[in-house]
Amino acid sequence: MGSDAVLSAVVKEHGMPKAQCPRPNVGRRVALVMIVCALFAVTPPAFAQVDLTGTWQRVGQNDNGNAREPVDLLGMPLSADGRAKALSYDIAALSATERQCQMYPPFYALVGPFPLQFVMVPDPVTQKLLAWKILGWGDRDETMIWMDGRPHPSKYAPHPHGGFTTGTWEGDTLTAVTTHAKLGDIKRHRGFSSDRATLIYRFNRHGDILTVTGILEDPVYLAEPYVLTENFRLTTNPNNFPLTACEPIEELPSLHENPALVPHYLPGKHPAMNEVTQRYNIPLEAVLGGPETMYPEYRKKIKDNYVMPPPCKESCGGPPPAAPPPAPTGRGAGPAPRP
C-alpha cells in the first residue's frame, strides 16, 4: 500500500477538510463529489494523536534518585545476588580508566536527574513514524523506540549501552520494551541490573504532564519486578546535559599507579552499611531491601523495632530561606556594598 493509498484510507476514515469541497454545481459528477464532501465535512476531525516530542523536565518530588546514603536499598526487591552485588560496590570503581565512560542503563531515565528529550524519527521514504528517540544525557545513552514492528534481536546480539527497544501504542499510552542493555546500576549506585534484564516503560501523557512507569525484571539481581514511577512536565526552558564524547582522564592517582586495583568492598565490610539505621532508626534488615520490604505488611514486622529519631536538624528540605530585606536607599542609606 503506497502513500497515496494511505492518504486515501485517511480520507475515508477521517474525512476531508471543508475547504477542499467544490461549491454547489449542477453537474452530476460534481453533485456526487458534493455528497461525499458533505458527509466528510461534518465528520469530527480525528487526526489528534499523543505527541511526545519536546523536552520533559523531571518533577523529582520523590527519592528515586535522591537517596543520600550509599547503602539505601529500601523497597528494592533485590535477590540475594542483587544485594551482594550492591554491597560490594564502591563508587570509586567509576574512576577506573576503563569505567569512566561506562553509561547508565536505560532505567536511569527514571532515576537520573535530567529531562527526557523526545524526538520523532520519521521513515525517510514515507515520512511515517518510524521510531521515538529519547536523546542521551552525558552518562546515559540514547534510547531508540522502534515503532515499526521489528523483532528484538537474538540474545547473543551485541548489548549496547542504550539497549534495544520496541514500542506499541495501547490507546493513548506508549508501551516500550527494552532488552539487550548492559549491566548497570539502577538507583544511583545502589543496586544493579544485569545484561539479561527487561525494562517495560509506560508513557502516559495527561496535558503537559508525562507519567512514566518503569517495570524492570531481571533474573539475576531481582527477586520481583522493580517498579518506579516518575512525573515529567513539558518545558520550553530545558536544562539539558547533552550526550557528548567521553574522554577518560586520571581521576584517582591510586588507580593510575596500580591499574590492577578494582575498588570494591568485601562481604559485610561496606563502611556505610549502618548509616540509614543510625540516621533514621530504620532497622538494617529493611535497609538491605528484598521483595518483602515493598509491601504494606512489612510495616508490622518493623513496628516494634522502630523509634522515631530526634527532629531533623540538617538537610531537612522545607521552604527556601527568606530573602534579606531590601537595602535602604536614599540620602540616609549607607554606602553601597562592595561587589
Partner 1 sequence: MRRAAIAALLIASGFVSLDAQRGAPQPPRPPKASAPIDLTGYWVSIVTQDWRWRMVTPRKGDYQGIQMTPEAARVADAWDPAKDEAAGEQCKSYGAAALMSVPGRLHITWQDDTSLKIETDAGTQTRLLKFGNVPTTADTPRTWQGASQAQWLMPRPNVPLQLRPADRAADTPPPNPAGGSLQVVTRNLRAGYLRKNGVPYSENAVMTEYWDLYKRPNGEEWLTITTQVDDPQYLRGARLTAPLFKKEPNGSKWDPTPCSARW
Its sign, for the CA torsion 69, 184, 187, 231, is positive
The burial of 20, by beta-carbon neighbours within 10 Å (0-12 exposed, 13-18 middle, 19 or more buried), is given as exposed
With respect to partner 1, which residue has the nearer C-beta, 68 or 264? Answer: 68
> Minimum Å distance from CB 287 to partner 1?
9
With respect to partner 1, which residue has the nearer C-beta, 218 or 230? Answer: 230
Those residues with Cβ within 8 angstroms of residue 148's Cβ, 6 or more apart along the chain or in another chain:
123, 130, 131
* CA distance linking residue 49 with residue 61, whole number of Å: 29
Q: Return the H-helix or E-strand segment holding 31.
A: helix 28-41
* CA distance linking residue 41 with residue 44, whole number of Å: 8
With respect to partner 1, which residue has the nearer C-beta, 117 or 198? Answer: 198
> 69, 231 in Cβ contact below 8 A?
no
CA dihedral (92, 95, 101, 104) in degrees, to 10, reads 10
* CA distance linking residue 318 with residue 323, whole number of Å: 15
> Minimum Å distance from CB 77 to partner 1?
8
With respect to partner 1, which residue has the nearer C-beta, 141 or 185? Answer: 185
> Minimum Å distance from CB 337 to partner 1?
26
> Minimum Å distance from CB 269 to partner 1?
24
The burial of 39, by beta-carbon neighbours within 10 Å (0-12 exposed, 13-18 middle, 19 or more buried), is given as exposed
With respect to partner 1, which residue has the nearer C-beta, 38 or 157? Answer: 38
* CA distance linking residue 147 with residue 170, whole number of Å: 12
* Per-position DSSP letters for 221-236, written without gaps between them: TBSS-EEEEEEEEEES
> Minimum Å distance from CB 153 to partner 1?
18
With respect to partner 1, which residue has the nearer C-beta, 38 or 262? Answer: 38
> Minimum Å distance from CB 251 to partner 1?
30
In the chain, the amino acid numbered 162 is G
> Minimum Å distance from CB 104 to partner 1?
18
* CA distance linking residue 55 with residue 213, whole number of Å: 18
> Minimum Å distance from CB 25 to partner 1?
8
With respect to partner 1, which residue has the nearer C-beta, 62 or 254? Answer: 62
With respect to partner 1, which residue has the nearer C-beta, 31 or 272? Answer: 31
